[in-house]
Structure 1
Amino acid sequence: MAEYEAMGHEPFLSQYGFPEPKRIWIKLNGNQYPAKAIAGAAHKFVDGVPLVASAFKSGEATVVRKLRKLGFEIGTPGRNPDWTRDELILALELYFTNPANPPGKKSAAVAALSHLLNKIHRLSGGVGGTTFRNPDGVYLKMMNIRALDPTFIVQGKVGMKAGGSLDKAVWAEYVGRRIELAADAKAIRDAVANTNEEAVAKLPTVEPYEGEEGGVIMRLHKRHERDPRVIREKLKAARAAGDFECEACTFDFEATYGPLGAQFIEIHHTTPVHMMKPGTKTKLTDLVLLCANCHRMAHRSRIPLTLADLKAIVKIGSSEKLGACSPISRH
């Protein structure tokens, strides 16, 4: 299991010659592992030689029974989760490459999107079965989208059933904004493609703030921010400088809360994760000190705000506040 986590899902299956698992998974500490592949690989620690997929005639008889005897919980993936906004943005972009004749189930474009969507799912801690966002599912989603397209509807064709409420919301948001659609889809693709699954798996998980926009870009960005190593180094530098003021609004916790707030501050990564190249090492200059309020505001948009963005917002807010209190403004 440790080897599986270190290598990643697809490399592990390839290494030991196992196909994508259909229904039997080991469940442990909130994670899921492909039961047959794990059992086959485990044999190398017993007799030096792993077992191949063909050695297992029946999953129930040869794998499940033994693993349960060893105390493992065995389960099967449930219904595929609903499509997220990020996933729908990517599917919509693919649909618009050729609305009259969208890429087919066996096309390279559909296969590539299927692969990307599965990586997004894994980066979020999920493990999907063979039906999760497979090429058939990606193609069907494009047909759901097509049923929302007025150009298609006016032809009197029934086609597939239109998607759910989120499908309709994403369509309405982007139908007349193709340039913005392309930019948002590229940001999502870049963030996922540039992310090393093994490295991210070692970083702390994060819970969304209330009212946060969310999405894979924000989740990955916040996990990079929680890297204990870079946090320690940034706080060490702040202690050496004797400065723990928020770099956006200059709030100082110690000045307000006394000893309770001494050396308290939060760390924000200034480079959006979709702009980080593969293998990029975070430098202290990539990190800024923010109070809790400014940090939450930085995370309320789909793409994290930069320090310059925050400073501009704080400046405008301060100016408006002063203006509202000015005697001149009341006349």
Structure 2
Amino acid sequence: MSSKGMPSKALWNMPVVDVRWRPSGGRGEYEHVPVDMLLGRSVWLAPLVSDAAMIRTDVWGRIRDGKPRLRRENPNDRSTLNLPQLVAALALLPEPIREDQGAAVFPLRSKGYVISSITFNVEQKGADLAVCTPLSMRILHDAGQIDLTARLHRIGDLLRNPELVPHGVMDAAADFLGLIEQGSISSRLRTCADTLTEWLAQDAQAASFLDAPGEIIVDRPQAAEVMAVELTELTADETRRKLRTHYKIDRSRKIRAAKIEQFKRRHGAVYCENCAFDFSKKYGQRGDGFIEVHHVIALAALLPSTMTCLDDLLLLCSNCHRMVHRRRPDLTPSELRLITQ
């Protein structure tokens, strides 16, 4: 299925389960909520990279010490991937860890972050099987979300496009897709994913296609996690890729309309949140409703295939918006206010 026709919204209207990280000893483990969706069931994964593929994981929903937990059939087998590690590899994200190091490293780096939760659509099959379709992912110490549905469909489109995949990574792409078609949970998937992510780090066009923001707008959770992030310096290539995603959010008609509607409901009018300039007062009917939208998340912390939260957006007049982007790094809202007020 082409990413242009992804069924993200339809999937969100079906039964869902959250697989959530919880601290346990030194490493942490994953629970499933609500309990009855996976309890006593073998977890199968619809990877979306290939519509025909289905992956049988070695994970079951169990009760341990009175709590719902995901348990592996072979927990010590390092030649296969656990469910969160498998989803990260399928999504061409860096390798996650289970130990909370007190902060997440952004942009995401291998073994520099913990997956705090993955939301799946669930279809129960018979008495002991559950087919899970990935919807979204959260990172520990960050309140953002990755649109897995959009990203996984794009990966399938990208890796099957000979015009976008260079000759040097065709074998890795073929191996990656082949393992998925076979329903493999082998750690070879991680090896292929690492090769492909190294390529994407050098190919701005392919990375821009893959990392584009999702179409779903989400609300910030009421009890958002406290930010504890380490923002590492971006390379020039990383900056270019992040800027493409940033500008796509800023310029999205759908996102712009939703933010303006939210602001009008709260304030009764549309004006610059920094200098209070109102285009309708200056230009009359021609300026009615005109404003620019700015995404305030730091480039380094912008997640790939991010889901947009309206509270991460700022309405700015053209002058203020241009000043924010005039030099790297962008001005933060507080820095902009300090200059102009």
What is the TM-score normalised by the length of structure 1? 0.37
Work out which of the two has the higher radius of gyration on C-alpha atoms and give 1 or 2: 1
Greater per-residue strand proportion: 2
Greater per-residue helix proportion: 1
